[in-house]
Amino acid sequence: MVFSGDSRRRFLKGAACACCGATLAGCLSGNDDEDDGNGNGNGNGSNSNDYAEFDPLDPEFPQLTSTLLEHSFETGSIEELDNFEQRDEPVYGNSPQETPDDESEWLDPDTLDFAMVPTEDPTVFEGVLDPLLENIAEETGKEVVNNPLQSYAAQIEAMRNERLHVSGFSTGSTPFAVNNSGAVPFSIQVGEEEFGYRLWVITQADNDEITELEDLAGKNVAHTDQSSNSGHLAPNALFTDAGVTPGEDYEIEFSGSHENSATGIYHGDYDVAPICSTCYARVAERGDVEASEVKCIWASAPFPTTSFCYRYNLHPDIQEGVRRAFLEYDYQDTQIAEEFEGRGTWVEIDYATHYHDILVNHQVNGVDYEEDEA
């Protein structure tokens, strides 16, 4: 199946000051212990009527994360891709580098090195992406090796030094990869009906002191990593616009990962955490947290997920082969879709267009790509 690059979406109208206006803090009401049939009861004292009936198109908060997951609210709808506002150049930082005209500058390795976004357990994707990697090998005529890396910084450094040729970069680190490492984002992974992820702000379901963003002031708040979009950069921009300034109204504690933030909230190590919704969904699916015991007090409009990139100076034939392996095959019936929550399709993206709001977050945060490397 061949997919065009015409899908476009505008996440937050205007700039970061739009503040993910798709969601506003809701109100609490009632004291009934019974489940109302909408997934709002958790059976352990957090009453079903404490939460408004959930409407994904007009959500009110707080909501139990179990309710959000039942409504697949960790993602955006695939239809939203059609509404991107096309942009000619990035709002912040540089455009991806063009393939050199001088053939002597082309990179033509015998083996293509591939790496996915670093995780706490690098073996989690072991073998899962084999159908994709096999097609890359077939389309390029090169051996392809999957080399898991331990950190965003290691991933960016490897591509900068031409030791990494094709890679999936996290949303927040994608601009660093473009500006510092010669990465060319060309695709994102989607499902049959959904794409992207959201920023959720989570706390314990029985924490009555925290029901809206302004309640974060003075609390123990865990951000994930300094280069993370949903775990740090977006909260810095969007919370400040909403009247709560991270680092001023509350002290930031870095957990090190979305997994750590999710389990830290569940076990009471932190009061609140901004977190990647799909990362939270994976932790909940593994059983590391009980979603009915965690609530979300605020959520954003969807952001794009992992960007898949190749290095700008790869031989043009290799670039085209890599693109074909991603864009001209459908992996919905493979282990890829099974492991990635049904996301077995890649669609073409335009960096300036699809990462506009990520770049706005970086701009608001004053990110210096030369100094603040992921």
Output the tens digit of pLDDT for each of the chain's 374 residues.
333 333 322 233 333 333 333 333 322 223 333 333 344 444 444 555 579 999 988 899 999 999 999 999 999 887 777 778 899 999 999 999 999 999 999 999 999 999 998 776 666 777 999 999 999 999 999 999 999 888 889 999 999 999 999 999 999 899 999 999 999 999 999 998 888 899 999 999 999 999 999 999 999 999 999 888 999 999 999 999 899 999 999 999 999 999 999 999 999 999 999 999 999 999 999 999 999 999 999 999 888 989 999 999 999 999 999 999 999 999 999 999 988 878 899 999 999 999 998 999 999 889 999 855 44
Cα(first)–Cα(last) distance of the chain, in Å? Answer: 35
The Cα–Cα gap between 224 and 276 comes to 10
**pLDDT for the residue 47:** 53
Residue 311: its H or E element? strand 307-311
Distance CA 54, CA 37 (A): 11
Cα-based angle 198, 203, 207 (whole degrees, multiple of 5):
150
pLDDT at 5: 32
Q: What integer pLDDT is reported at residue 163 of this predicted model? A: 97
Question: Which amino acid is it at 279?
Answer: C
| Residue 109 DSSP code | -
Phi, psi of 328 (to 5 degrees): -105, 10
- Residues 287, 290, 295: CA angle, nearest 5 degrees: 140
Give me the residues paired with residue 77 across strands. 194
d(CA 122, CA 125): 7
pTM: 0.74
Q: Are 178 and 98 in contact (CB under 8 A)?
A: no
What number of other Cβ atoms are within 10 A of residue 130's Cβ? 15
Residue pointed to by tokens 């910084």: 153
Show Cβ contacts of residue 107 under 8 Å, excluding neighbours closer than 6 positions: 162, 165, 311, 313, 314, 315, 318
At residue 44, the pLDDT reads 42
For residue 81 the two structure tokens come to 């891709």
User: What is the distance between the alpha carbons of residues 90 and 96, in angstroms, rounded to a whole number?
Assistant: 9
pLDDT of the residue at 17: 31
Q: Give the torsion through C-alpha atoms of 274, 277, 212, 216, to 10 deg.
A: -10
3-class SS of residue 73: coil
Judge whether 163 and 113 are in contact, CB under 8 Å.
yes
Bridge partners of 169, per DSSP, are: 307
Nearest partner of 32 among 8, 55, 44, 48, judged by Cα: 48
Residue 337: φ, ψ to 5°: -65, -35
> Could you tell me where the DSSP H helices lie in 37-184?
65-70, 130-140, 152-160, 174-181
pLDDT score for 46 = 52
